[in-house]
Copies of this chain bind each other. A is one copy, B any other.
């Protein structure tokens, strides 16, 4: 029976019932974690062959990958990322372990040197603003906050960010210099931007000529089902629009091979890539080429990479379904409560009734179940409705996950009931 249809007495009885269940969890002294978008131990095992010796230390152009050289990566790694990210090799720079580092550096570079050759550095401009589709990725927001960039919430929809609002800001406010996007299986909703959304991004005519779209393609090959979501190529669309420097794309193999030992890439228009390289050549001697070689040798080509990703999907699907099944059977009775059903990525978003997220988080915490902080998916950690919880089902084994979700649904019920009674 839906909680909205219950009488006050029924609600109190239900709350009492749920509190008893909750107490039984407290007795169990659990220590479970659904907070981090972290692959499980079994996912690491499927890339174990990548650890072995490469067959030869030479790249296809003859470069000895053990020595200095090749600032922008070995040709075969550039090609592989180019195929995955749908852009020519020459528009790719292959870098080190963390794509987040590339995003941070891109903002640091814009702060100090400007967004393009000859642009006014952001640190010399009075005000810098970023658009932040919400809910979004907490680490994106942490970067912009650290740099003192003002963040503006943009509501997310299953089609992507509210593009009317995006266009309004970008095309009229020259202090708006960027927008954080996770276009495929967005963090945390798991939404994939529609074709129209991608086209509208590609055709933006910013008021600021140093505005860039930060296109974090973190889950580009991270489908849970054979039929993955299709994301239009931002490179192709931007090029068609004569606007190929509007975006900077980021990606990595963190959730393809090893989060602790992967490679990453930047993709952008020719002018951006040249500008980035002009600074990069001062910044570093080069990124780890042996690891690039290891990756290309292990992942081979796009087809074998897709086959590899299916092995991840086989591990992850039951975890996502464990959470979704529990939500379906247990939370359908809660008013104003919904959740996303992603077909890829690393997260599910649970939308609770207003003012119920923090309370649910706290109840889970007390029972030994760690969730991502309520509010974390919003700039400054402030969820205006206090309704959003990011669920990360990937790390715990299924049996632990079942317990963690049972605690979560119980906590969500209590929080909602406390509000209703």
Contacts and interface: CB of A to CB of B under 8 A. Distances in A.
A287 B287 CA distance: 11
Interface string A144-188: 001100000000000000000000000000000000000000000
Interface in A9-68: 36, 38-39, 41, 44, 47, 51-54, 57, 64-68
Nearest to A143: B282
A3 interface: no
Nearest to A124: B123
B67 A288 contact: no
A246 interface: no
Contacts of A111: 111-112, 123
A245 interface: no
Contact of A100 (B64, B65, B260, B285): B285
Contact of A51 (B57, B104, B105): B57
Nearest to A100: B285
Contacts of A52: 52-53
Contacts of A406: none
B68 A101 contact: no
Given A51-B54, A104-B282, A111-B112, A36 B68 contact: yes
A285 B44 contact: no
A292 B284 CA distance: 19
Central interface residue in A54, A113, A254, A284, by most chain B CB within 10 Å: A284
Contacts of A282: 104, 139, 142-143, 146
Interface residues of A, number: 53
A259 B68 contact: yes
Given A53-B51, A108-B108, A112-B112, A67 B284 contact: no
Contacts of A38: 67-68
A289 interface: yes
A291 interface: yes
Contacts of A147: 112
B67 A39 contact: yes
Contacts of A54: 51
A286 interface: yes
B67 A97 contact: no
Nearest to A102: B284
A80 B303 CA distance: 41
A88 interface: no
Contact of A64 (B260, B279, B286): B260
A191 interface: no
Nearest to A258: B66
B108 A260 contact: no
A223 to B, nearest CB: 21
Contacts of A344: none
A286 B38 CA distance: 13
A258 B67 contact: yes
A381 interface: no
Given A67-B44, A68-B38, A112-B123, A261 B289 contact: yes
Given A51-B54, A66-B260, A67-B38, A98 B284 contact: yes
15 contacts: A39-B67, A51-B53, A52-B53, A65-B260, A66-B260, A68-B260, A98-B285, A104-B282, A104-B283, A108-B108, A121-B123, A142-B282, A146-B279, A146-B282, A262-B288
Interface of A: 36, 38-39, 41, 44, 47, 51-54, 57, 64-69, 96-98, 100-101, 104-105, 108, 111-113, 121, 123-124, 139, 142-143, 146-147, 254, 258-262, 279, 282-291
Given A51-B290, A101-B284, A123-B123, 6 more contacts: A66-B258, A98-B284, A100-B285, A104-B282, A139-B285, A254-B285
